Each structure stands twice: as C-alpha cells, then as structure tokens.
Amino acid sequence: MATTPQTNQPSPELIFDTLNAYQRTAALRGAIELDLFTAIGEGAATAADLAGKLKVPQRGARILCDYLVVIGLLTKQGARYGLTPDSAVFLDRRSPACVASAMTFLNSPELTNYFRDIAAVVRKGGAVLNAEGTMAPDDPIWVEFARAMAPMMAMPAEFIADLVGAGSGKVLDIAAGHGLFGIAIARRNPNARIVALDWPAVLEVATENAQRAGVADRHTTIPGSAFDADYGSGYDVVLLTNFLHHFDPPTCEKLLRKVHAALNPGGTAVTLEFVPNEDRVSPPAAAAFSLMMLGSTTAGDAYTFSELDRMFRNAGFSGSQAHALAGPEKVIVSRK
C-alpha cells in the first residue's frame, strides 16, 4: 500500500480551495478590522502576545494568523509571526502607504452584492442589480470609493505626477473621485491648475483633499457626468484614471473625442487602467479585473493595450505608450 499519492494525479484541491476562497477575503477583512497587522508591526509576535494586545482568545489569534501565513500576508518562524514586505507597507496603519481602508470600498455590500449570482450575470451579460450597474447617475458607491481608495492610488498618483512633470499646465481630472491624481500634479508643479470633474457628492471629497494638500486655490470643479458636462478647453493634460473600463469601446471613443477636442495641440491624455495582455488571461490581477466589470457594469471591460490604442486613434490621438507600475495597473499616455 503506497503511503504517498502519485504525482500529477488530478486532485480536487484547487476546486476545494476556490469554493472556500471567500474565506480569504473574510480573513483579511477581519484582520484589518482587528488591526492585527499594526499589532504585529508594533512587536506582538506570538499568538499569546496578540491575544493580550488585541484582547481576544489565543485560539482566535493563532488560527487567523496561521491562515494569513497560508495566504501569504504574514510570515511565521517557529511560533513568531511577522509582516511580509507587502503587509508592512500596505496593511500596518502606521505606514503612510497603508491601503487598509480600500477594504471599506472593495468589500462594501454595495459592490460585493453584484457578485452574488454570477450565473445570472453571465446570462444577462452584465450587472443584474440595476439597469446601469454602478454607472447610474450619482451612485453613492463613488463617494465610498473616493474616501476608501485614495491610499491605494497614492503610488500611481505620484508616478503620473512624475510622468507629466512640467508639461502640466491646465489639467482636467475626469471622474476625479478622491482627486489625488490632479492634486499630486498640483503639488509637484506650482503652475498646474486642476479642474476636477465628478458627481457633486464625490467632488466634496476631492475638494477636501485639495484643501488638505494646500492646493485648493488651483483646484476647481465641474459637477456632473463626463459625457454631458462642458469641459471648457485649453487643457495640457486630461486624466482618465480608472474610468474607461466602465464602458464599451464606442462609448469610450465618444468620450475620447470630447477629450481630444478639449486638449491643446501636443497635449496628452493620461489613462490609468487594468490592462491585460493580448491573451486576456495575464497578468492575473489585470485580467481578473474583467470580471469586476462584467459583474458591476452593463458593458465595461479590462481592455488590452491594442484595444485602448485603437480607441485613442479612432478618437484622433496620434498614438499611445504604456508604462508599467508596481501595482496591478498601467499608465497609458496618448498624444494629441
């Protein structure tokens, strides 16, 4: 009787893991709510330490920590837990780059409820919760997005500010959300003037952030839909961050023609997007984002570089260039 299984024998293990994958989300959410990562960052290393510091039974601390080691968010040496490089930077609340608040958007019922019945989503070919998905006018989800996701956008915002550099004079920040992209440019370039466009309730968050950053005097707003609002003209840069993925290509092109018209000659559209490779199944995070759009919009998608480049060319741009980031997204710079 063999005591080890044959190698490469099919196994239900990945299926079992996937049917239980919702527990990964639940465990990380729980750990963030308990502020477990900060406690470990502050030196609580064993289950007993953590039980004392968080005032929870040791069984709970031990099992949750072991699970977080299994899913790659903690380390374990003997009985001592530690932060990984990622969790130290992004989950310890003492870190300026902490993104723990992203949980309140990504795991809000307003978003996760879109994924309760994927069979129904596939049968419809898009969001089933309401006729327009999250693209309904003034959907309150975008205020939550603006408040919760700002930390996750800090690194891309700095990258983009660095990229556009002194080339930014008048900047239109479409679907500005938290406003961080325009604000990062304004902080970097004292000559930049930012015009932020979004739903009125969302713009309150952007305006707060502009005041806090000390750039409110160069930060104005246009309330409304990016499709209907009057942008004005004379822009050197138009920012399109996490926006195009909500729409189908004809709708994107319609918007991009409007963007093109508002830009000065030689101006650039700067797009932040989840851009899968042409195979549409790599890299994982960008490719998987397509399901986020299937579930929460009627016609959005994660577009490949060639699809985005085609949309921009069709809208009159001369061409586009992609820049990789450390995170799951890319920056696409398209020149008028």
H-type helices in 213-316, by residue range?
249-262, 284-296, 305-314
Interaction residues for its own copies, span 206-245 (CB under 8 A)? none
Cα separation, 29 vs 31, in Å, equals: 5
Q: Is 45 in the site for its own copies (CB under 8 A)?
A: no
Q: Is 109 in the site for its own copies (CB under 8 A)?
A: no
DSSP state of 169: S
Report which of 288, 277, 292, 290 is spatially closest to residue 324, judged by C-alpha positions.
277
Pick the piece of the chain touching its own copies (CB under 8 A) from 56-64, 183-191, 239-247, 265-273. 56-64
CA dihedral 150, 247, 237, 152 (to 10 degrees): 20
Q: Is 112 in the site for its own copies (CB under 8 A)?
A: yes
What tokens does 243 get? 């926006």
Q: Is 252 in the site for its own copies (CB under 8 A)?
A: no
DSSP state of 5: P
Interaction residues for its own copies, span 295-324 (CB under 8 A)? 295, 299, 301, 321-324
**Shortest distance, CB of residue 232 to its own copies, whole angstroms?**
29
Pick the piece of the chain touching its own copies (CB under 8 A) from 2-10, 225-233, 257-265, 304-312. 2-10
Q: What is the 3-state secondary structure (H, E, C) of 201-241?
A: HHHHHHHHHHHHCCCHHHEEEEECCCCCCCCCCCEEEEEEE
Among 45, 53, 69, 229, binds its own copies (CB under 8 A): 69
Cα separation, 92 vs 36, in Å, equals: 8
Among 102, 175, 269, 332, binds its own copies (CB under 8 A): 102
Interaction residues for its own copies, span 123-152 (CB under 8 A)? 123-126, 152
Among 48, 63, 136, 261, binds its own copies (CB under 8 A): 63
Among 39, 40, 106, 197, binds its own copies (CB under 8 A): 106
Measured from the CB atom, the residue of 31 and 203 that comes closer to its own copies is: 31
**Shortest distance, CB of residue 21 to its own copies, whole angstroms?**
4
